[in-house]
Structure 1
Amino acid sequence: MLGFSQFVQKTFALWVLLFAVIAMYQPEAFVWLKAYITWMLGIIMFGMGMTMSLQDFKGVLQSPKAVAIGVAAQFMVMPLLAYLLCALFRLPAEIAIGVILVGCCPGGTASNVITYMAKGNTALSVACTSVSTLLAPLLTPAIFFVLASQWIEIDAWSMLSSILQVVLFPIVLGLLLRALFKTQVERSITLMPLVSVVAIVAIVAAIIAGSRAQILESGLLILAVVMLHNGLGYLLGFWAARLFKLPYADSKAVSIEVGMQNSGLGVALAAVHFAASPVTAVPSAIFSLWHNISGPALATYWASRQRQ
């Protein structure tokens, strides 16, 4: 089972792409999953909590400057990039809201694996993901309110409540479970990445199935914006780290941390708060698909340079 789990993780982007295509052609097979998106994200966050430990937060104490730069870049670079891209492309309000929403999300857990593949500072990546995820209930709604309120009326308190329910509460529950039943949790922890992959694939398929018409109409535009957002995130994250004279391995970690978002959270928030406009969740769904292609590609490039 462990071997199968590792295989699925390594071919993650392929499964996301495969089920995204199937959802476009057979939307009725997946559209019913939309009702369970918040539960699936909660399961992903619960799994993240089970894999976290106090050791992850020791990295904050060991490299406070690097963690501060990574987290600050995460919540400054990606939201501002999203806003500028929306203004530059003059995106329709429903799409602009979705782009800004994914930009305001914390770093995704996949960034830790990609940093390891890129031979970056994995401990720093884990610390940045942990801190940005814990700050997300406050910073994500606050930044989103500032940047997106010109397009739509936003209930920041309701969004904060949603993030507490689907992010912070499951993570804390996972942490407590590991602390109380460490031996039992250690036995089953290897399966949690497989569960997370299945949940993310299901979330992306559900959103694409439910937004098929809007994707056919605006999909290429959204994909272009997502690719720019993600690519510029990697670039600006890397140079922000170099500007503050972080080592090369740390700069790679910050770059990946900034460029890769918790797009599942973006999908869940869009599904809950902007249900009347299904296309709002599409940028997050496409981001989830794209950064799982661009991330491994970037990691392969950096790893090959390391061997030279």
Structure 2
Amino acid sequence: MILFGMWLTLTTEDFKRIAKRPIPVVLGTVAHYVIMPGLAWLLCMIFHLKGATAAGVILVGSCPSGTSSSVMAFLSGGDVALDVSIETLSTLLAPLMIPTLLSFLAGQYVSVPAQSLFLSTLRIVVVPIILGVLVHSIFGKKIDAIIKIMPLISQAAILLIVGAVVSANHANIFTAATALVIPVVMLHNLCGYALGFGFSKILGLEEPQQKAITFEVGMQDSSLGATFAMKYFVPQAAIPSTIFSIWHNISGSILSSWWKNHSKNSH
């Protein structure tokens, strides 16, 4: 429901846009799948995280770009078209990337059901995208009213997932181990922004494109991470995704507001 609602607005034009300028889209997607999983693994090493907690951090780092990133790109004056294109490509690659990255980076902490993850990601991620595009193509403007409310329904579903994770972890949510996850998640997100921005600067992209890649790298589809953590691991593994889901919206809002004001003042 979450992804179907978000991708119901997707049209064939979005895929044509990827084909028209593939280089920044591909580079942004590569940056996302290199920087965020790598950061997750490095932070687990630095903070000596173990077991399900470490697997949960790496899981959220291996997820595709978060749907909130396009909102933050818009609010900051970024290139929304590039943002959506990277988000689309990273999501389409998720069935391959999530099980591969988890097996490689988190296999030392937990047993990773790679095949089950692959099939689940196809069903949960790719099928809703295909259905969303088909429904939009068939019904067009007839479903405009539904499209307007679907993001709200999707956000409500995300809140339900977060609530379920918190409920399942109420006994562990304020433990010392969980408290350590909070700075790890914050650093993961903030370093993702910094490295995404640095990467876009190295590429020599314009400021709107820099903003898009910054948010696309630093923001994750954490609701997907929480869903997989609850399904394939123990509830504790979902805590990093839950914290990430809350924190990246706070940090993204602050960064987008600062960036918009900074851009205005610089001209």
Q: With the length of structure 2 as denominator, give the TM-score of the two structures.
A: 0.96
CA-based RMSD of the aligned residues comes to 1.0
How far 1:75 moved relative to its partner? 0.4
Q: Which amino acid aligns with 2:155?
A: V
Taking the TM superposition and a 5 Å limit, the aligned residue runs for 1:245-284 are: 245-274=204-233, 277-284=234-241
| Residue type at the aligned position of 1:109 | T
Q: Is the 8 A contact 2:12 2:133 kept in 1?
A: no
Tell me whether 1:220 sits opposite 2:176 in the alignment: no
Report the more deviating stretch, 281-290 or 206-215: 206-215
| CA gap 1:150/1:219 in 2 versus in 1, 3 angstroms | closer
Helix, strand or coil at the partner of 2:164: helix
Match of 2:192 in 1: 233
Q: Report the Cα distance in structure 2 between the residues aligned to 1:201 and 1:153, rounded to whole angstroms.
A: 28
Pairing partner for 2:36 from 78, 83, 101? 78
Helix, strand or coil: the match of 1:209?
helix
Q: Distance in 2 between matches of 1:307 and 1:246?
A: 19
Match of 2:111 in 1: 153
Please state how far the C-alpha of 1:208 moved relative to its aligned partner: 0.9
Residue matched to 2:247: 290
Following TM superposition, by how much is the alpha carbon of 1:48 offset from its aligned partner in structure 2, in angstroms? 2.1
After TM superposition, give the deviation of residue 254 of structure 1 in Å: 0.3
Q: CA deviation at 1:258?
A: 0.5
- Number of aligned pairs? 264
Superposed CA deviations along residues 55-111 of structure 1, whole A, max 9, x for unmatched, are 222331332221111100110000000000001100121100000000000001110
Gaps of 5+ in 2: none
1:100–1:148 Cα contact (<8 Å) kept:
yes
Deviation at 1:174, TM superposition (A): 1.5
Counterpart for residue 50 of structure 2: 92
In structure 1, the gaps of 5 or more residues are 1-42
Query: What SS class does the counterpart of residue 241 from structure 1 fall into?
Result: helix
The corresponding residue for 2:98 is: 140
Q: Partner letter of residue 142 of structure 1?
A: T
> For residue 305 of structure 1, what is the aligned residue in structure 2?
262
> Within the alignment, does 1:200 sit opposite 2:158 as a pair?
yes
TM-score by length of 1: 0.84
Superposed CA deviations along residues 108-154 of structure 1, whole A, max 9, x for unmatched, are: 11100100001111100000001100110111111111111111221
Three-state SS of the structure 1 residue aligned to 2:108 is coil
Task: Tell me whether 241-250 or 99-108 shows the greater mean CA deviation.
Answer: 241-250
Give the distance between the partners of 2:42 and 2:104, measured in 1 at CA. 14
Shift in Å at residue 297 of structure 1? Answer: 0.4
CA contact (8 A) 1:50 1:185 kept: no
Secondary structure of the structure 2 residue equivalent to 1:216: coil
Alignment of 1:34-45 (within 5 A): 43-45=1-3
Contact 1:77 1:236 in 2 (8 A): yes
Tell me the SS of whatever aligns to 2:17: helix
Secondary structure (helix, strand or coil) at the match of 1:258 reads helix
Which residue pairs with 1:112 in the alignment?
Answer: 70
CA distance in structure 2 between the aligned counterparts of 1:49 and 1:257, rounded to whole angstroms: 16
Structure 1 stretches of at least 4 aligned residues deviating more than 2 Å after TM superposition = none
Quick one: percent identity of the two aligned structures?
42
Whole-angstrom CA distance in 2 between matches of 1:269 and 1:190 = 28
Report the Cα distance in structure 1 between the residues aligned to 2:65 and 2:127, rounded to whole angstroms: 18
Moved more, 218-227 or 126-135: 218-227
- Checking the alignment, whether the CA contact within 8 Å between 1:47 and 1:171 is kept in structure 2 is no
| Structure 1 CA distance for aligned equivalents of residues 21 and 164 of structure 2 | 39
Segment drifting more, 96-105 vs 184-193: 184-193
Deviates more, 1:209-218 or 1:259-268: 209-218
